[in-house]
C-alpha cells in the first residue's frame, strides 16, 4: 500500500469524507497533517500544492488534490491503480 498523506483540519467535513473513501479502499494508515493545529504546515501545504483549502491529499508523491478530485479518480477507476488495488 502506498503512503497516503492528507493535509487536514479538525472541522473539515470534506476531510472526513476523504478519509472514509480512502478507508473503504483499504487504506488503513493516513498521515494527517492538521494545518489548524500547526500553522507552519499550512504554509508548507500552500507551497507544495498551490492551493489553500483542505483536504490536500498525496498518494506517495502524486498530488491528488481535494475530496472532489479524489472522488473523481474513484469514479474513473484510477484511484484503485494509484492505491495498488487495480
Per-residue pLDDT tens digits for 34-48 = 999 999 999 999 999
User: How far apart (Å, rounded) are the C-alpha atoms in residues 39 and 72?
Assistant: 29
User: How far apart (Å, rounded) are the C-alpha atoms in residues 8 and 16?
Assistant: 9
User: How far apart (Å, rounded) are the C-alpha atoms in residues 20 and 11?
Assistant: 15
pTM score over 0.85: yes
Please check whether residue 28 is in contact with residue 1, taking contact to mean a CB–CB distance below 8 angstroms: yes
What confidence score (pLDDT) does residue 86 get? 47
Write down all domains in the chain, each with its CATH number in brackets: 4-82 (3.40.30.10)
- Helices 67-76 and 13-24, packing angle to 10 deg: 30
Whether 76 shows a pLDDT value over 60: the answer reads yes
Amino acid at each position: 500500500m502506498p503512503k497516503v498523506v492528507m493535509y487536514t483540519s479538525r472541522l473539515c467535513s470534506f476531510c472526513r469524507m476523504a478519509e472514509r473513501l480512502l478507508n473503504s479502499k483499504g487504506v488503513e494508515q493516513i498521515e494527517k497533517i492538521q494545518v489548524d493545529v500547526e500553522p507552519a504546515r499550512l504554509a508548507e501545504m500552500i507551497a507544495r500544492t498551490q492551493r489553500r483549502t483542505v483536504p490536500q491529499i498525496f498518494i506517495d508523491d502524486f498530488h491528488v488534490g481535494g475530496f472532489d478530485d479524489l472522488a473523481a479518480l474513484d469514479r474513473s477507476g484510477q484511484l484503485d491503480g494509484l492505491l495498488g488495488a487495480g
